[in-house]
A and B are shown apart, each in its own frame.
Chain A
């Protein structure tokens, strides 16, 4: 039951992220190019520089920013849970398997279990890096709508084909999601999914799953035809209409200087 609720929460948070990014606040008003540049610089620095100070500072700063713009708690939690769980499992694994200097020892059913200092430090570093990276990517996604991100990526010379397919994919995830969920609900009402572990039930569930997946592919194919017709009627000639950036204004320059100072300060503090 808890697992189902967590899964639903993660899906809901995914669906609402772009809606949060469309709201008006100090970070959404910032130029998307600056946010991309800032977040990528921080990400690069996190994985290059040793120590825990930088990741911890980044986590503190980004969480403050994300809470400040009133990002729903369930969105933060849904983002935090999967990578953090992975990092914690890795920390425990490293603690118990790598190193020579023992931190503690205990016995379970006559088996000696020891934790090592070196493994703990490596596991902790990885956990801190995962959390900091996740936090900075979350900051970018809740402050930058996907079309703004696409525009910024094109400015950074990311191939137009990638950006175009990225935007189309993002647009149609929600449409196919709704259609897929409707089919799944209909299948469930016809007892297409067996809850349990009998081989017959599993076979029925598997059949329903691949029928649903095939239906989604068929719907995607048909919808592509309709989408192309609609795009052609609106003047689509195989290329995305570019919305180019104007000259930098004073607010952009101020934001750039602030970001630069912040990144430099974070790097300096972690050395």
Chain B
């Protein structure tokens, strides 16, 4: 899923670092601001980041195939922590995955942060908020956010690989490689994200209220 070191030309790798840095800087500013208001915010983000890291490693069963894959977890992080903070969390998770797992790379950290942290978070969060404004339930809105947030990550990665590599492969080639596996996975990620939010709303509604995701029931 993540672009490995060596796939990208130097100038593109640097360029993606620059673009992601803008969003990460705003994320850092937001985290600092919210930490001043509530000192527990940073430990909470650390724990959420660890939870999302664990979730992204868990095998998710794929229908009909008898096999499993892994969720991206970014739309979920964006719903819980907000899109800018989720960009920073994604950057940290990607750095840890690159350093400890060899998933993704250090020189491609900027590109991966942009696809997963920026596009995945913002689209997922935007769709969740839009869904809630349109009166959809928490679970359905989170499900839509999960599906399209996940798909957007792979579409963005396809563009990054097509335009930033030392090869001459087109966007369609990469989409053709990604989509047969990622289309069912994104549907499953949507169901999992929707199921998670619904479960938390049923068992611990106070968490969603405290995070500003849901309103307190009167």
Contact = CB atoms under 8 A, between A and B. Distances in A.
Interface of A: 7, 10-11, 14, 17, 40, 43-44, 46-48, 55, 79-80, 82-83, 86-87, 94, 97-98, 122, 125-126, 128-130, 132-134, 137-138, 140-141, 149, 159, 161-162, 164-173, 175-177, 180, 184, 193, 195-197, 199, 202, 205-207, 209-214, 216-221, 223-225, 227-228, 231-232, 236-238
A56 B4 CA distance: 17
A257 to B, nearest CB: 24
Contacts, number: 229
A206 B192 contact: yes
23 contacts: A7-B59, A46-B5, A80-B102, A97-B173, A98-B167, A129-B6, A165-B46, A165-B88, A165-B92, A166-B96, A169-B92, A173-B53, A176-B47, A176-B50, A205-B61, A210-B196, A217-B51, A224-B43, A224-B47, A224-B48, A227-B46, A228-B43, A238-B36
A159 B100 contact: no
Contact of B4 (A133, A141, A231): A133
B45 interface: yes
Contact of A134 (B5, B9, B44): B5
Contact of A161 (B28, B100, B166): B28
Contact of B40 (A17, A80, A133, A228): A228
Per DSSP, are chain A's interface residues mostly helix, strand or loop, or mixed? helix
B101 A10 contact: yes
Nearest 7 A/B pairs, CB to CB: A168-B46, A129-B6, A133-B5, A210-B195, A172-B50, A214-B199, A220-B51
A46 B191 contact: no
Interface stretch (B103-111, B119-127, B130-138, B148-156): B103-111
Nearest to A166: B92
Contacts of B66: 195-197
Given A180-B54, A238-B39, A129 B63 contact: no
Given A87-B4, A159-B28, A14 B192 contact: no
Among A83, A132, A220, A237, chain B packs the most CB atoms within 10 A around the CB of: A220
